[in-house]
Amino acid sequence: MKKPYHHGNLREELVRAGITLLSREGASGLRLREVAGVAGVSHAAVYRHFANKEDLLASIAEEGFLGLVRRVEVYQKRATTQRKQYLESGRAYVEFALDHPEQFRIMFSGLIRDRTAYPTLAEAAEKSFNQLVTIVEECRTSGLIPAHKDRRVHALAVWSMLHGIANLLIEGQFASGRARTRYLTHALLGLLIA
C-alpha cells in the first residue's frame, strides 16, 4: 500500500530507501522504481525529487560525506589527547567505510560523472576533506606533526592511507573486526607522525 504524500521529508526518506537498496543490491541494482517501493510511494513521487538515478546517487553520496563528518566528530570527542584524536579520526573513517561499504563506494566512484552539477555534494565532500586538513593542522600546531611538512600533502597522505585500508578491508583482503581495524588504522597512521 502506497503512503499518501503528506510528509515534508519525502526527499530524505527516498535517500534512506536508496541507501537501503544500495546495501542490498549494489549500485547496479538500484532503480528508482524500487526506491519508490521501499519508501512506499508512487514512482512519480520519486521524480518530483530526483531527475534520474545519478541525481539520487549524488544525494546518497552527499549524505555519506555528511555522515562521515559526523562520525569523525564523535570519535574525536571521545579522545583525550591530540594524538588519540588524530588516530581515532582515522579509525572513524575506516569504520564508516566498513559500516556503509556500498555508500562509501558511491562517494568515491565515477558513477557521478560531473560533481560540479551537484553543488551540495561538492560542498559535503570538501567539508569532509577540510575536516581532515584541520585535524592535520591542529597536529602541526601541537607538534605531533613536524611543522615543515605541508599540511595538505600530509592530509592527502593520511586520506590515501585510510582509503586504501578501508578498500582492502571491504574487499576482504585483511581479516576484519573492530579490534583489527583499530590496530591497523592506528599502526599505519602512526607512521606519519613524529
Kindly tell me if the per-residue pLDDT of 83 is higher than 50. Answer: yes
> What's the CA gap between 39 and 55, in Å, rounded?
17
> What's the CA gap between 119 and 47, in Å, rounded?
19
Q: What is the pLDDT of residues 24-74, one digit of tens each?
A: 988 888 999 999 999 989 989 999 999 999 999 999 999 999 999 999 999
Give mean pLDDT, residues 134-141. 90
Supply the mean pLDDT for the chain. Answer: 89
> What's the CA gap between 105 and 183, in Å, rounded?
23
On the 0-12 / 13-18 / 19+ scale of CB atoms within 10 A, 160 is exposed
* SS3 at position 111: coil
pLDDT of residue 1: 45
User: Of 25, 54, 51, which Cα lies nearest the Cα of 38?
Assistant: 25
Q: Which helix (H) or strand (E) holds 138?
A: helix 119-142
Kindly tell me if the per-residue pLDDT of 6 is higher than 50. Answer: no
**The three cell numbers locating residue 158:** 593520511
Contacts 24+ apart (CB under 8 A), 170-175: 170/97, 170/98, 170/101, 170/104, 170/105
> What's the CA gap between 33 and 27, in Å, rounded?
14
Q: Which structural domains are found in the chain, ordered by start?
A: 1-50 (1.10.10), 61-190 (1.10.357.10)
Give mean pLDDT, residues 113-124. 93
**The three cell numbers locating residue 191:** 607512521
- Whether the model clears a pTM of 0.85, i.e. scores above it, the answer is yes
What is the DSSP secondary-structure string of 18-76? HHHHHHHH-GGG--HHHHHHHHTS-HHHHHTT-SSHHHHHHHHHHHHHHHHHHHHHHHH
Counting residues of the chain whose pLDDT is more than 90, the rounded percentage is 61
